[in-house]
Amino acid sequence: MNIPLFLRRRQISLRKYVNDKLFPDSELKLLFGKKNKQEIKDIVKKVNDIVNECTFACTVFSFKQTFLEGSKAAKDSVDTFKNLGILKISIGRKEYFERNENVLEGDRLYDFLLRSIESQELRSIISNSSYFSEIIERYKNVPF
């Protein structure tokens, strides 16, 4: 899959952030302890699985914030213009009025994105979180 460079960089940066928060170097050294190669390999796989899922949750969360803030801005704008006696505004070819599909586009995109996630637990983590830190805290408690 070809992902635009700016998104790839953002994802790499987010994964590093999540990894550093979940498993600082000192904690990894404790996890490895005096383990044999197979045990270390198993630990590395588990760490990667946890970091990947948490990074995914944080990525979807960031889209959630973007989509919902966009809809809120559209709603606030339409309401402000309505109070000024302007019932419809146009930006490019899109018209915004009341709570039409363009005003609610961010809400719909977020709902669609959330429904596309199979795991009910993951959907719950994303939808009930207000900050990245809440998601990361949840993954700190994943047992080994």
User: Which tokens in the block code for residue 116?
Assistant: 């596309």
| pLDDT tens readout for residues 107-132 | 999 999 999 999 999 999 999 999 99
Q: What is the pTM of this model?
A: 0.86
104 has pLDDT over 70: yes
Across the range 15-37, mean pLDDT stands at 88
27 has pLDDT over 80: yes
User: Which tokens in the block code for residue 124?
Assistant: 């719950």
108-128 as b/e, with b when 16 or more CB fall inside 10 Å?
ebbeeebeebeeeebbebbee
